[in-house]
Every structure is written in structure tokens, then in C-alpha cells.
């Protein structure tokens, strides 16, 4: 297979003459192709089969020990002006970016096969979907793209019909961190990535295309590309509300998206539409609708067990690729927090020795098709997407943020999103557990200047009167000893229920300078082992702490200079003034 679409054929030829692969293979996306690649990777040692009796069609990939997470310091946005990329991004001019990375691509695929992967982000027949083509020398990338996207012949047909696609050029190179770069050229609709085979660095449809490139297109075209899960909540009366939630990396999106209702909330059902990315458009009636551009999950493994999330636990017992987990003596995958079995070999394939650290890497991941999920919603394939009732921001905050609060209006909601701060996690290389600003959970993923991004968010009320309400949640508040105050996981539905009740105007709330808080008793805690004091602590606002936080955010805005929208500054100052007036 090749293509009748000349610009694509020409680009593939150009990449091939630069990188010199031994052969070129156009992916069709068939099951047979997937099985063949899995077979070949077992022969080459890139994958190993896990216990096929207990984990049928599950395989393990151990990455290079220096290549285990996203590399934000090596990720660049290449635009003519540095201002356009903004202080939230690393910047290079397009000329410098190409020169730097092209030198590394020179001959990089020698001795290897170059795979051409046409893919479609979003349902194949949705007007909201966008296509791309990734060329890569990694068969591991191909099988992951097969699970994560609509990949192969149907996508190619759409590209030939539409006449446009995002170009993604990837090579694992020599995996030397000194020769690793992820470059984005938003105005050329192109991505070049070399030196990593891991997740968001290498599966270019995901963060590179569906967030960084798409966020730039979304701004130009009047929509939003966000780091959000999409889920449906069906109440016992059979009514379903859809919500979209933005939490930073490894802060609970996958778990929330496939939550299992606790026994105390009989009759509720949860439907998963997406666990990581949402594309949001206004429809003809002015409602915000979401599609999930992906069709699979690349999820955090550690912590997954029958108590935290039985759905996720079951989902990854078959047809799953594991990356960087440990293994038991009888070749089952193992990770910290699995609660059953014990590790014999660690994530580097060595005999497990507790003295050399964790058995599974903290950012070890599973890749599965979304249809593996017991709570998969068929609407994930609906071309028109689903209408969104609420947008929910969140993060890991040991102290500051209450369990839940509601923004007063859209402008305040944009402030709430823009001021998301969260403790860093193992999803990116760097120190873990330090609080950093992560506006809308998009710090690593917004392809342009945050100041312009906030202005774009703020422009929505001019276009519709039907915007969803905006909330903030925090499952991670801790006591003095570092214990989580809130049980989390399935019990989070109690909080989501309050959010839906607010959207339906079924419940009151207390107005504070930082937003609306639940009234005493309005979050149902029946059957929960949680004291009224703890509940009050979870819903309390420490005014002094909030003043400091608000001031920090004001200082952070200064870093974006005159580009910061006036309305956002005014809203931050309004909150500051009201905090000053409260006791």
C-alpha cells in the first residue's frame, strides 16, 4: 500500500531519503498486522509475553532506563516569535528547530524499517476529527498507536478525501538523552521527535498532535483542545449528564473516568468516553460538545487494584501492553499497590531487590483499547460527541484546595482553571511532589502563549449563553501526618453528584470569596467512615493561605506581561479584595 495523495507520498519519500531506512511499510491497522508485529518484537526482544493463562495477549516492554517519562525540558514550540510560544513553553525559531533536529535524523533509520502510520484522532466520520500520519522506526510505537488511535486504511482514506494531515516524524534514534528532542511546528502542522520511545514523546497522535498542535488550531478555529477526561453519570432515574475534567498528569483522570459507584449509591452508572484528552466545540444550538480524539488508554499502572478500581484492574488482564512494570516468579505483571502477588523481577528485568528501589517504575503504564473497559460508552464513537454539563478542574493539593467548590461564573471559572497548582508526579522527568503552576492541567501541553489561551477561554461567553458550570475538586487533601482525608476513587461519585445537583439547581451552596462551597450535609457521607470534623476540614477555606496563593498567582500572571487579558487580572484582584474583607 502507498497513497494516491501526492503531498503525503512526497513527504514520506523525503523522510526516507533523510533517514535511510532499509524498508518502508505502510500500516493497514489490521489485526493480522498487529499480531505479526507482536511476534516480531518477541523475536527481537523488544517485547516479552506475560503469563498467557492469566494474562492472555498481554506483553511487557522494558524501556531504556533513561527513557521512562515525558521530557518537558526537551520539548519545544517552534514559531517565528518567542512571544507566540509564551513563557509557558521552550521556544526555538522554526529554522533553528529544523536544523537542530534534522541533523539528528540524518541516517537515523539505517538498518531499520520505517513504518507509515495514518491515523484519525476522533471518530472516523466525525466533522470534529483530525488526521495525521506518523512515520516511525519503532514497531512498539505502531502497536501502541493501533490500540490508542483509529489507525490504518480508513484513516488514510479520510486523509486522501480531506487533503490534509499533521506530519509526525519520529525515530528512537540512539536513545541518548543528549540527542533527544520533541519539536512542534504548529504553523507547518508538523512534529519531529527523536531519541525517545516513551509515551507522549513517541506516540505523536497524543500530546504532540491532539494537544499541542490542536490547541493552536482550536484557537484559530474557535474550539478547545484540552487535557480532560470525558465521562457520563447516569442517575437511578436513567438521566445521564456528561462532564469533562482537567487534572494534571497522574492526578486521577483515568481512575475517575472509569469509576465504580459505591454500594451506598445504588442505581448509578458511570460511562467512560475518554480518560486524557477532550476536543470541545460549540454546536449549532450553542452547547459545548466533547469528543475524545483517542480510542485507547495509556494509563498509570501503580496503585491499580481491586479496591481502588476493579474496572481498571479487570481491563488490564487481557490484550494489554505493559511498559516498565515488574514481574512475579510465574511471569505475571506486578506493581506497587497491586495488593496480590510479589515481585521477582524489577522494571529493568533484574532480580528484585528492595534496596534498589521500587519494583515497577512509578510511571509504568498500560496500553489498552478503550473497548476493553467494562464501562466503555458507545457514544465515544458518536460523530457528534456528547453535551457537557460541567467542567471540573483539579490537582494534588495537600493543604489549600477544598474537596470541591464551584466557580461563580465563567470568568471566575477561567481564573479557577488558570490558577490550578499541583504537586508534580512521575509522569514527567524531574522532582516529584513539588507544587507547580499547571493552568488547566495544560502546562506541558498548550502549544502557544498561555495569556492568549486564557483570552481564548474568556471569549466563549460572547458566543453562547449555554456554557457549562465550572468546578474545582481536590481528592488529595492530607492531615498533618500525610494521610489522605478523603477516601477517593469510587467515593468521588458523592462529590460528582453534588456537582450535577448544582448544574440542575437542585441544591444550595455557601458563597465565599473563592467560590460556592457545599452546605453542611449536602455531600452525602452515609456509610462512609468519615467524621463531621474531617468533612468540615475537607470543605474549609484557610483565608490566609488563600491570600498567599492568590498573590502568588498574581505574580505568576506578571510573567506574561501585557498579554494577560484584563478580565483575568480584574477577577484575580476581585478575589484578593474579597479575601481581604473576610475575616
* Minimum distance of Mn ion from residue 249's CB (angstroms): 5
**Per CB under 6 A, 494 contacts ligand GTP:** no
**Per CB under 6 A, 322 contacts ligand GTP:** no
* Minimum distance of ligand SPV from residue 200's CB (angstroms): 3
**Per CB under 6 A, 492 contacts ligand GTP:** yes
Are 192 and 96 in contact, with CB atoms under 8 Å apart? Answer: no
User: How many C-beta neighbours within 10 Å does residue 240 have?
Assistant: 17
Q: Which one of the spans 47-55, 132-140, 200-208, 329-337 is the region binding ligand SPV (CB under 6 A)?
A: 200-208
| Residues 6 or more apart in contact with residue 258 via CB below 8 angstroms | 270, 272, 275, 309, 311, 312, 315, 373, 374, 375
Long-range contacts of 78-84 (CB under 8 A, 24+ apart): 78/183, 78/184, 78/185, 78/186, 79/186, 79/187, 79/448, 80/187, 83/449, 83/563, 84/448, 84/449, 84/452
Among 197, 200, 274, 402, binds ligand SPV (CB under 6 A): 200
| Residues 6 or more apart in contact with residue 78 via CB below 8 angstroms | 85, 91, 92, 93, 94, 96, 97, 98, 183, 184, 185, 186
**Joined grid coordinates for residue 140:** 512498539
Query: Distances in Å between the alpha carbon of 412 and those of 121, 189, 231, 344?
Result: 31, 33, 24, 51
List the interface residues with ligand GTP, window 467-486 (CB under 6 A).
475-476, 484
**Per CB under 6 A, 488 contacts ligand GTP:** yes
Q: Which is nearer to Mn ion, 144 or 328 (CB)?
A: 144
List the interface residues with ligand GTP, window 233-252 (CB under 6 A).
247, 249-252
With 0-12 CB in 10 A as exposed, 13-18 as middle and 19+ as buried, what is 435? middle
Among 89, 138, 149, 249, binds ligand SPV (CB under 6 A): 249
Are 465 and 204 in contact, with CB atoms under 8 Å apart? Answer: no
Site string for ligand SPV, 279-298 (x = CB under 6 A): -------------------x
550 binds, among ligand SPV, ligand GTP, Mn ion, none (CB under 5 to 8 A by kind): none
**Joined grid coordinates for residue 80:** 517565528
Q: Which is nearer to ligand SPV, 296 or 518 (CB)?
A: 296
| Residues 6 or more apart in contact with residue 266 via CB below 8 angstroms | 236
Length, in residues, of the chain: 583
How would you classify the pairing of strands 90-92 and 75-78?
parallel
| Residues 6 or more apart in contact with residue 555 via CB below 8 angstroms | none
**Per CB under 6 A, 442 contacts ligand GTP:** no
By C-alpha distance, which of 434, 524, 45, 460 is closest to 286?
460
By C-alpha distance, which of 360, 375, 449 is closest to 82?
449
List the interface residues with ligand SPV, window 412-431 (CB under 6 A).
427
* Minimum distance of ligand GTP from residue 301's CB (angstroms): 8
Q: Which one of the spans 137-145, 163-171, 199-207, 532-540 is the region binding ligand SPV (CB under 6 A)?
A: 199-207
Q: What are phi and psi of 524, to 5 degrees?
A: -65, 120
Of the candidates 58, 245, 251, 446, the residue annotated as catalytic is 251
Q: Which secondary structure element, helix H or strand E, spans residue 39, and what is its range?
A: helix 31-44
List the interface residues with Mn ion, window 261-290 (CB under 5 A).
276
251 binds, among Mn ion, ligand GTP, ligand SPV, none (CB under 5 to 8 A by kind): ligand GTP
275 binds, among Mn ion, ligand GTP, ligand SPV, none (CB under 5 to 8 A by kind): ligand GTP
Q: What are phi and psi of 565, to 5 degrees?
A: -60, 135
**Per CB under 6 A, 207 contacts ligand SPV:** yes
Among 211, 260, 427, 493, binds ligand GTP (CB under 6 A): 427
Q: Which is nearer to ligand GTP, 114 or 392 (CB)?
A: 392
Q: Which is nearer to ligand SPV, 192 or 207 (CB)?
A: 207
- Does the annotation count 251 as an active-site position? yes
Closest residue to Mn ion in the complex (CB): 276
Q: Which is nearer to ligand SPV, 67 or 346 (CB)?
A: 67
Distance CA 342, CA 351 (A): 12
Site string for ligand SPV, 33-72 (x = CB under 6 A): -------------------------------------x--
Which residues are at the interface with ligand SPV (CB under 6 A)? 70, 199-200, 206-207, 249, 276, 298, 427
Task: Show which residues are catalytic.
Answer: 251
Which residues are at the interface with ligand GTP (CB under 6 A)? 247, 249-255, 275-276, 299-300, 302-303, 308, 427, 475-476, 484, 488-489, 492
Amino acid at each position: 500500500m502507498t497513497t494516491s495523495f501526492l503531498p503525503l507520498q512526497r513527504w514520506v519519500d523525503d523522510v526516507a531519503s533523510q533517514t535511510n531506512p532499509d524498508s518502508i511499510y505502510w500500516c493497514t491497522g489490521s489485526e493480522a498486522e498487529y499480531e505479526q508485529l507482536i511476534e516480531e518484537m518477541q523475536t527481537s526482544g523488544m517485547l516479552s509475553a506475560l503469563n498467557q493463562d492469566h494474562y492472555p495477549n498481554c506483553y511487557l516492554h522494558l524501556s531504556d532506563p533513561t527513557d521512562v517519562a515525558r521530557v518537558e525540558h526537551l520539548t519545544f514550540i517552534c514559531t517565528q516569535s518567542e512571544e507566540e510560544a509564551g513563557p509557558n513553553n521552550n521556544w526555538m525559531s522554526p529554522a533553528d528547530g529544523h536544523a537542530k533536529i534534522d541533523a539528528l535524523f540524518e541516517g537515523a533509520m539505517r538498518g531499520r524499517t520505517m513504518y507509515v502510520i495514518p491515523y484519525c484522532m476522533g471518530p472516523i466520520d466525525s466533522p470534529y476529527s483530525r488526521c495525521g500520519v506518523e512515520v516511525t522506526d519503532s514497531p512498539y510505537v505502531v502497536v501502541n498507536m493501533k490500540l490508542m488511535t483509529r489507525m490504518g486504511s480508513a484513516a488514510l482514506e479520510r486523509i486522501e478525501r480531506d487533503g490534509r494531515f499533521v506530519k509526525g516524524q519520529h525515530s528512537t534514534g540512539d536513545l541518548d538523552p543528549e540527542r533527544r528532542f520533541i519539536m512542534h511546528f504548529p504553523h507547518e502542522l508538523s512534529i519531529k521527535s527523536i531519541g525517545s520511545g516513551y509515551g507522549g514523546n513517541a506516540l505523536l497522535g497524543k500530546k504532540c498532535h491532539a494537544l499541542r498542535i490542536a490547541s493552536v488550531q482550536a484557537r484559530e478555529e474557535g474550539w478547545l483542545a484540552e487535557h480532560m477526561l470525558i465521562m457520563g453519570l447516569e442517575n437511578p432515574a436513567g438521566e445521564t449528564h456528561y462532564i469533562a475534567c482537567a487534572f494534571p498528569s497522574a492526578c486521577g483522570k483515568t481512575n475517575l473516568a472509569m469509576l465504580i459507584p459505591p454500594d451506598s449509591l445504588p442505581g448509578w452508572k458511570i460511562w467512560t468516553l475518554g480518560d486524557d484528552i477532550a476536543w470541545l466545540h460549540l454546536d449549532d444550538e450553542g452547547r459545548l460538545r466533547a469528543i475524545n480524539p483517542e480510542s485507547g488508554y495509556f494509563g498509570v499502572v501503580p496503585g491499580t487494584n481491586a479496591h481502588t478500581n476493579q474496572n481498571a484492574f479487570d481491563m488490564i488482564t487481557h490484550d494489554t501492553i505493559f511498559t516498565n512494570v515488574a514481574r512475579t516468579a510465574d511471569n505475571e505483571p506486578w506493581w506497587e499497590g497491586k495488593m496480590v502477588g510479589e515481585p521477582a523481577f524489577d522494571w529493568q528485568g533484574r532480580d528484585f531487590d528492595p534496596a534498589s528501589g521500587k519494583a515497577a517504575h512509578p510511571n509504568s503504564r498500560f496500553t489498552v483499547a478503550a473497548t476493553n473497559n467494562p464501562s466503555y460508552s458507545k457514544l465515544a464513537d458518536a460523530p457528534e460527541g456528547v453535551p457537557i454539563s460541567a467542567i471540573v478542574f483539579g490537582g494534588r493539593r495537600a493543604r489549600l484546595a477544598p474537596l470541591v467548590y464551584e466557580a461563580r461564573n465563567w470568568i471566575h471559572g477561567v481564573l479557577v482553571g488558570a490558577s490550578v497548582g499541583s504537586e508534580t508526579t512521575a509522569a514527567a522527568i524531574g522532582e516529584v511532589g513539588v507544587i507547580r503552576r499547571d493552568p488547566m492541567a495544560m502546562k506541558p501541553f498548550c502549544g502557544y502563549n498561555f495569556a492568549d489561551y486564557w483570552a481564548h477561554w474568556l471569549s466563549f461567553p460572547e458566543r453562547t449563553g449555554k456554557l457549562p458550570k465550572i468546578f474545582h475538586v481536590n481528592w488529595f487533601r492530607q492531615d498533618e501526618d500525610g494521610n489522605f482525608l478523603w477516601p477517593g476513587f469510587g467515593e468521588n461519585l458523592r462529590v460528582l453528584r453534588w456537582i450535577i445537583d448544582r448544574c440542575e439547581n437542585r441544591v444550595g451552596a455557601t458563597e465565599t470569596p473563592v467560590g460556592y462551597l457545599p452546605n453542611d450535609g449536602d455531600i452525602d457521607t452515609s456509610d462512609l467512615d468519615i467524621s463531621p470534623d474531617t468533612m468540615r476540614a475537607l470543605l474549609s477555606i484557610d483565608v490566609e493561605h488563600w491570600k498567599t496563593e492568590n498573590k502568588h498567582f498574581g505574580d505568576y500572571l506578571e510573567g506574561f506581561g501585557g498579554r494577560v487579558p484584563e478580565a483575568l487580572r480584574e477577577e484575580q484582584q476581585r478575589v484578593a479584595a474579597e479575601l481581604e474583607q473576610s475575616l
